[in-house]
Amino acid sequence: MRHLYAWTLVAAAVLAAAATPSPAAATAPPTKCPRLKENWYGDNRERLQRLIDERGTCSESARGPVAVFDWDNTVTKNDVTDATLYWALGHDKILRPARWKHTSRWLTDEADRALTEACGTGTPVGSPLPTSTEPRCTDEILEIYGDGRTMSGAAAFAGRWNHRRTVPQYAWIPQLFAGHTLADVSAYARSARARDLAAPVGATRVLGTHTVPAYVRYYAQQRDLIRTLHQAGFDVYIVSAGFEPVTEVWSRGVGVDPAHTVAIRSVLDRRGRITTLTRGCGGVPASRGEVIPYIDGKRCWINQEIYGVRGAAAWHRQRAEHRPVLAAGDADTDVTFVGDATGVHLVINRNKDELMCRAYDDADGRWLINPMFIEPLPRRPDLYPCSTTAYNRPDGGRGPVLRRDGSVVPDQQDTVF
């Protein structure tokens, strides 16, 4: 019995010693998250690194908070959906619709006539239009898409739509590819990607009489940021107002898979071919482009696809735990979801009024502004009209940008360029 008591005391002492950390263990530094390598403007890299260190799991195998990036001109220089359209026009990949008016619910009679006259009626319906050899047809498509007007200057789109949920020109690109499969469009995107990555920075080409960008580049800083976020355990998504099969081709280049890529999603017919319908969000059913990932639509798609919020609630700002920690964008189409971020609002300065008003006002002290990494814009000479016309109203009008407390954001000077 005495031997048993002595043995118990020894065992207790051993367990106590094991439970007491040594001085070296008690002072050991915590595991550090991976480090950003590329150079950024000002102290942006340090501030991004601080967010990674504070909010990351520091483990690639342990998923942590969400980070969301816009794609075009945020992760890449130049627009990849545009690049795919340019390639398609140069290779006769747009199929003739039975009537151009059927491609968009907002296309005007004037635009329908202009496209019919320019593209002709000799091509059978459903067959490829000879856009590579018919510059008038290419011109009308590019002018309507780029400027919302015909080559003669007539309005190409008319009617009513919520200007914070869609823009007809953006919705029109997937509609132009009606009749193709998603695999077809992915193949066109891969061809455009190879061509534009090989072209020198600054290159342009002429389609019809339009001069358009002929190159695309991944921003090294954004590629490094996304890679570092992944390594630190962040769940990284792309949410774009581009066409989803195109964006998916490009997002793989930064390690983001299709399941983490959200863009305009077409409804397919029974044969798996693209139709002029697009999928809905926030309780809005499939339609001819009424809801796409655009301004408030991006918030809706993030809430629905990332956080599982269904119905009308997806249009509303969620609790902090159901919002991205980091959000990055470059244009007014990104302003809502970038503003929803709880840690860092990262903005690439392309002189877009509503977004830059929010960024320069910096109401919560978490807005980071960076010049474009390639061919940055010069300083905007006038003030951003934040107090009067910078806000995009749902009805298409313009108004003042308001803070969450209802106060008006004063006009802002462009200082990061």
Reduced 3-state DSSP string for 172-210: HHHHHCCCCEHHHHHHHHHHHHHHHHHCCCCCEEEECCE
Q: What is the largest CA-CA distance in the chain?
A: 108
Note the pLDDT of residue 55. Answer: 95
pLDDT confidence tier of residue 62, bands split at 50, 70 and 90: confident
Reduced to 3 states, what is the DSSP secondary structure of residue 284?
coil
Instruction: Let me know if 297 is exposed, middle or buried by CB neighbors in 10 A (0-12, 13-18, 19+).
Output: buried
Give me the mean pLDDT over the 314-342 stretch: 98
Q: How many Cβ atoms are within 10 Å of 333's Cβ, its own excluded?
A: 27
Residue 38 reports pLDDT greater than 80: yes
Residue 285 reports pLDDT greater than 60: yes
Residue 229 reports pLDDT greater than 50: yes
Mean pLDDT of the chain: 93
DSSP string, 332-398: GGGHHHHHH-SSEEEEEES--HHHHHHHHH-TTS-EEEEE-SSSPPPPPSS-B-TTTT-EE-TTS-E
Give me the mean pLDDT over the 357-361 stretch: 98
Note the pLDDT of residue 59. Answer: 86
pLDDT single digits (tens) 379-396? 999 999 999 999 999 999
pLDDT confidence tier of residue 8, bands split at 50, 70 and 90: very low
pLDDT confidence tier of residue 10, bands split at 50, 70 and 90: very low
Note the pLDDT of residue 61. Answer: 80
Give me the mean pLDDT over the 335-361 stretch: 98
Question: Can you list the alpha helix ranges (DSSP code H) found in 20-74?
Answer: 23-26, 44-55
Residue 28 reports pLDDT greater than 50: no
| Spatial distance between the Cα atoms of 343 and 321, rounded to a whole number of angstroms | 11
Residues 6+ apart with CB under 8 A from 348: 73, 74, 328, 329, 330, 370, 371, 372, 373
| Spatial distance between the Cα atoms of 399 and 355, rounded to a whole number of angstroms | 14
pLDDT confidence tier of residue 31, bands split at 50, 70 and 90: low
pLDDT single digits (tens) 143-188? 999 999 999 999 999 999 999 999 999 999 999 999 999 999 999 9
Residue 60 reports pLDDT greater than 60: yes
Per the structure block, which two tokens stand in for 59?
């483990």
pLDDT single digits (tens) 288-313? 999 999 999 999 999 999 999 999 99
| Spatial distance between the Cα atoms of 237 and 149, rounded to a whole number of angstroms | 34
Residue 4 reports pLDDT greater than 60: no
pLDDT confidence tier of residue 240, bands split at 50, 70 and 90: very high
Name the packing angle between helices 182-198 and 80-90 (round to 10°).
100
Question: Can you list the alpha helix ranges (DSSP code H) found in 259-328?
Answer: 296-305
Residue type, 411: D
Q: Show me where the domains of the chain are located.
A: 44-77+218-399, 80-213
Q: Right CATH number for 44-77+218-399 from 3.40.50.1000, 3.40.640.10, 2.30.42.10, 3.10.129.10?
A: 3.40.50.1000
